[in-house]
Amino acid sequence: MNNTKTYSLSAKEIQKSWHVIDATGQTLGRLSTRVATLLMGKHKPTYSPHLDMGDFVIVVNARKVRVTGKKLDDKIYYRHTGYMGGLKETVLGDMLERQPRRVIELSVRGMLPRNRLARHLLRHLKVYAGPDHPHEAQVNGRPQPLSPRPKPRQRPQPTAEAAAPPAATTRRRARPQTGAAKAATAREPRSSGGTKA
């Protein structure tokens, strides 16, 4: 009998690091998915969904984040004051001018699970509108741009010899038709609703 046990990570063994991400020119959704992955710790081989595995993430230059299409005018953020008729709307363009930090926080929050752990993980996200942040003591390094997507591997192009079809190809013989198939092909096609003359 095999006595190997499943490895389960304990909270004492978790090591956290700090990541600084520059949002200049980054698309909002792609930036947010990368940040959510780092917050949850899915980039680590020891990922456990029930533990706080993630790292701390600092996003700088939140004001310079980019969106595609007409989202600056069309995307609307809603909030309610709590009073009757107190539904407030804010367009993404206005939100980026007034509270650029909030745009990234809301986007990342929507990509995390809806539970207590996710609310705890959001405290590890630090977003700043400008290039400066007060966490120099924790982070030793410059802001890292998001790594580009890996390019798909290209298949080798076939050479002229390999592209030529083989000289002798065998064809499959047609199957003999069964009784039902013979009867279906032998029938006359029906007329489309007219009377016979």
Domain of 123: which CATH number? 3.90.1180.10
Q: Is 55 a domain residue?
A: yes
Q: Is 123 a domain residue?
A: yes
Of 90 and 183, which is predicted with more confidence? 90
- Whether the per-residue pLDDT at 76 is higher than 80: the answer is yes
Q: Residues of 26-65 as b/e, b for ≥16 C-beta within 10 angstroms? A: bebeebbebbbbbbbbeebeeeeeebebbbbbbbbbbbbb
Q: Is 53 a domain residue?
A: yes
Q: Is 144 a domain residue?
A: no
- Structural domain containing residue 26: 14-67+100-127
Q: Is 32 a domain residue?
A: yes
Residues 32 and 118: their CA atoms lie apart, in Å, by 14
Q: Is 45 a domain residue?
A: yes
Q: Is 75 a domain residue?
A: no
pLDDT of 22: 95
Q: Is 61 a domain residue?
A: yes
Query: Is 0.75 surpassed by the pTM of this model?
Result: no
pLDDT of 184: 61
The amino acid that residue 192 corresponds to is S
Looking at the structure of the chain, the number of domains it has is 1
Question: Per-residue confidence at 138, pLDDT binned at 50, 70, 90?
Answer: confident
